[in-house]
A and B are shown apart, each in its own frame.
Chain A
Amino acid sequence: MIDAIYNALDALGAGARAAFSPTGLPNLVMIGISLTMFWLAIKKEVEPLLLLPIGFGCLLANLPLSDVMNIPGTNLPNHEGFLRVMYDMGIGNELFPLLIFVGIGSMTDFTPLLARPKMILFGAAGQLGIFLTLLVALLILPYIPGINPAQIKETAISIAVIGACDGPTVIYVSNLFAGLGKIDHSMVGALAVAAYSYMALVPIIQPPIMRLMTTAKERATPIPPAKNKVSKTALIFFPILVVVLTGIIAPKGLPLMGSIMLGNFLKMSGVVPRLTQCSENEIANISTLFLGLAIGGTMAGQEFLKSQTLMVFALGLMAIVVDTVGGLLLGKIWYKLSGGKMNPLIGAAGISAYPMAARIVQVEGLKANHQNHLLMNAMGANTGGQIGSVMAASIMLAILKGMGLI
């Protein structure tokens, strides 16, 4: 009897012993990180929709002796933790990011882009960060301890895609590699957190670069509103056009582009308000919750706290900065070629952070000229950035397919 009581008490204390053992230290650090995520989400309102579930998943996965992310065949045979079930249900097969894209598509209005189609070129320039960061990552990663030399290309690509400034795209691409065993599953969590953190930090990252790269005269340049109106028929055919073009040029990106354009097609058709509302609300919300929890579940201390996680954050920041520089450079070239009829600030909106980047352009434009309302043109560039980021990822996947890497 005494033995039974002792064993029972001993079992109750196992968690505390594990937490304060040397091997439990990384988990304690991760619990601290999850608490920081809660603070950022609740107190600072930084991407609360994502950071709260990711933080909670991270907390659950790092509590001592937690088996919520248990992989069959490890410490509890024939048992899968509930976060593992969620992971397999929608991240392992890339479903959740695509469902979120359906929601994003149904929330996006491409009218400003269709009114000024050339604005989409900013959406291309705003992807410079992806490709330049890829090159830099390929040069740096071989010198980072702990990175498998056979996985350098795939690791570099996964990090560079943070430059898409688009969480679902980052998760989709990195998980594709994780599924093929070409990067560690634990990296998907670091990549997702970096991507969403930098998306939230766009209002802090972009303005200094915008002011540094443009003169006061350039920033004050007004842009007349678009003269042409956009018909409903054009808005209905637009998603079909984009999907067909993607299918022809980069079919590997069709799941990404197809899902965002499906959401937009439902919205623009105007005949399925229930499906549109469902995409905007239920589908996007449930997918976001499950995706966040499952991503948080991959952030176990022993796997997450590695030198490569630091590289993910450092290179991810570089990608976003270079994206902004790329867009602004095109803006400055456009300003010169048009004889001062384009405000270079619009270039900074050519990233996928929608509608945040467009609003920043509007604010910076107004600071330089109180009569200068750049919002509609910036929205055109910003929606162009959404398409540009998905197109860049699609083209990247198409090239990798051509090279036999996927």
Chain B
Amino acid sequence: MDNTTFGLTMLLVGMGGTLLTLWILAILIGWLTRLCDTSKEGGKP
């Protein structure tokens, strides 16, 4: 694989993969915080 193709692949898959993974993580964190409600135990603001 030549350098340019390698670099573009890393840019697309790497940056895209990072964005997608962190977006999934944001959704999962949203679920987690709703699941672990502060009303039951009191939480940090």
Contact = CB atoms under 8 A, between A and B. Distances in A.
Interface string B1-45: 101101111110111011101111111111011011110111111
A241 B36 contact: no
A329 to B, nearest CB: 12
B26 A114 contact: no
Given A120-B25, A130-B14, A234 B36 contact: yes
Contact of B22 (A124, A130, A131, A157): A124
Contact of B32 (A130, A132, A241): A241
Interface in A382-399: 384, 387-388, 391-392, 395-396, 399
Interface residues on A, range: 35 or more
A395 B19 CA distance: 11
Contacts of B21: 124, 245, 249-250, 391, 395
Given A132-B11, A229-B38, A237-B36, A124 B28 contact: no
Per DSSP, chain A at the interface is helix
Given A138-B4, A139-B7, A152-B3, A399 B25 contact: no
Interface string A198-230: 000000000000000000000000000000111
Contact of B7 (A134, A234, A242): A134
A131 B44 contact: no
A127 B18 contact: yes
Contacts of B44: 111, 229-230, 232, 235
Contacts of A82: none
A314 interface: no
Contact of A234 (B13, B15, B17, B33): B33
A120 B27 CA distance: 10
Nearest to B28: A241
Contacts of B23: 121, 124
Contacts of B43: 229-232, 234
B39 to A, nearest CB: 9
A128 interface: yes
B25 A228 contact: no
Contacts of B10: 131, 134-135, 157, 396, 399
B15 A128 contact: yes
A152 B1 CA distance: 12
A233 B41 contact: yes
Contacts of B29: 113-114, 117, 120, 238, 241
A311 B23 CA distance: 33
Contacts of A111: 44
A98 B39 CA distance: 37
A384 B29 CA distance: 12
A131 B14 contact: yes
Interface string A177-191: 000000000000000
Contacts of B36: 231, 233-234, 237
A399 B14 contact: yes
A142 interface: yes
11 contacts: A111-B44, A114-B29, A124-B23, A131-B15, A135-B7, A238-B32, A249-B17, A249-B21, A392-B14, A392-B18, A396-B10
